[in-house]
């Protein structure tokens, strides 16, 4: 087996993978969801640092545009606006 990480010895990695497999699929899915959430939070912080005066709709639009493209972002933001996500 080829190591997944260059800075971790193969023996250590094998022990870690065995422990992860013993915890089961639900645990692995929960960890994946936590990592995805962390990535989204980090992206939101990065947008706010780059555009400190941006409102919630602008931040959401930037994140949506990066993930799904311009047209999808415009449509989602328009829908959220109609549904009252961004205030009156």
Domain boundaries in the chain? 10-50, 53-88
> In this model, does residue 40 exceed pLDDT 90?
yes
Alpha helices, DSSP H, located in the chain? 10-50, 56-68, 70-82
- Over residues 46-70, the mean pLDDT reads 94
- Over residues 45-62, the mean pLDDT reads 94
| Tokens 């709709």 found at | 57
CA distance 40 to 60: 11
Identify the pLDDT of residue 46: 97
Q: How many helices (H) and strands (E) does the chain have?
A: 3, 0
> In this model, does residue 34 exceed pLDDT 90?
yes
Full-model pTM = 0.70
């Amino acid at each position: 087996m080829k190591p997944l990480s260059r800075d971790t010895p193969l023996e250590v990695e094998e022990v870690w993978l065995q422990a992860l497999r013993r915890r089961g699929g639900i645990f692995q899915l929960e960890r994946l969801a936590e990592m995805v959430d962390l990535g989204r939070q980090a992206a939101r912080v990065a947008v706010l640092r780059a555009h400190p005066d941006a409102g919630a709709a602008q931040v959401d639009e930037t994140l949506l545009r990066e993930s799904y493209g311009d047209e999808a972002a415009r449509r989602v933001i328009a829908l959220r606006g109609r549904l009252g996500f961004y205030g009156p």
